[in-house]
């Protein structure tokens, strides 16, 4: 297929730059401990300096993959599918979630919200980033807000973001992994003083699983 034809299908969300896919345990947030199939889509220009999946950033290094194939694989493993990245909303998620829903699979997304929300989701984890703030209606749609805490200022950012979310949105503070020893005590103290927040830990990293 010529590159322009491939790009046209990527633009339509019929091909997605697939970085990796794997069956594991959701380690973070509300669904932690739940077995789920992860689809990691390449492409992200948010540029978090502490990002632990920088290999995902350049979409061109990940093969444009037919979403029918992605769904076929996912359906073999789990009824809960987590789409992550990268920033999955770089792409039109409508066709992928239509097909996942067509197989009666539960659709979860982990997103910074930096691009308009597309797709039909059973669970939206919004993890906003300071350098490219969420856009559009995602604050109204998010089921959980997960703010990654790298330093003390991130707690102020967390409150600013929480003020924008809907009333049912569950609020999480999660230590950034590389500074977890430093920031976890600060988060624990903050959550005890501000119990509308909960602590989210990257339990999959403690379990040494993907």
Asked whether residue 137 is marked as a ligand-binding residue, the answer is no
Question: Is 45 or 98 the residue whose CB approaches ligand SF4 more closely?
Answer: 45
Asked whether residue 169 is marked as a ligand-binding residue, the answer is no
- Residue 109 C-beta: closest distance to ligand SF4, Å: 12
- Report the interface residues with ligand SF4, using CB under 6 A: 44, 46-48, 51, 53, 56, 85-87, 112, 129
Asked whether residue 127 is marked as a ligand-binding residue, the answer is yes
Asked whether residue 26 is marked as a ligand-binding residue, the answer is yes
In 3D space, the residue among 180, 172, 186 whose CA is nearest the CA of residue 205 turns out to be 180
- Residue 38 C-beta: closest distance to ligand SF4, Å: 13
Question: Is 51 or 135 the residue whose CB approaches ligand SF4 more closely?
Answer: 51
Question: Is 21 or 79 the residue whose CB approaches ligand SF4 more closely?
Answer: 21
135-144 own/partner pairs: CB under 8 Å, 24+ apart: 138/111, 138/113, 139/113, 139/164, 139/165, 139/166, 139/169, 140/165, 140/166, 141/117, 141/166, 142/113, 142/166, 142/169, 143/30, 143/168, 143/169, 143/170, 144/29, 144/30, 144/169, 144/170, 144/171, 144/172
As annotated, the binding site for substrate includes: 25-27, 40, 84, 210
């Amino acid at each position: 297929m010529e590159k322009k034809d491939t790009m046209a299908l990527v633009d339509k969300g019929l091909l997605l730059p697939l970085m990796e896919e794997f069956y594991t345990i959701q380690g973070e947030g509300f669904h932690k401990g739940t077995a789920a199939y992860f689809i990691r889509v390449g492409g992200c220009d948010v540029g978090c300096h502490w990002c632990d999946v920088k290999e995902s950033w350049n979409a061109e290094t990940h093969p444009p993959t037919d979403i029918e194939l992605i769904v076929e694989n996912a359906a073999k493993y789990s009824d809960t599918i987590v789409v992550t990245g990268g920033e999955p909303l770089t792409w039109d998620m409508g066709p992928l979630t239509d097909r996942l829903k067509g197989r009666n699979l539960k659709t979860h997304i982990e997103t910074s919200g930096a691009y308009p929300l597309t797709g039909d989701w059973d669970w939206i984890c919004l993890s906003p980033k300071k350098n490219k703030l969420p856009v559009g209606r995602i604050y109204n749609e998010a089921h959980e807000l997960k703010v990654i805490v790298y330093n003390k200022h991130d707690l102020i950012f967390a409150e600013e973001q929480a003020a924008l979310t809907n009333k049912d949105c569950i609020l999480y503070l999660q230590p950034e992994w590389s500074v977890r020893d430093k920031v976890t005590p600060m988060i624990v103290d903050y959550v005890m003083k501000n119990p509308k927040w909960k602590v989210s830990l990257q339990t999959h990293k403690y379990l040494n699983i993907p």
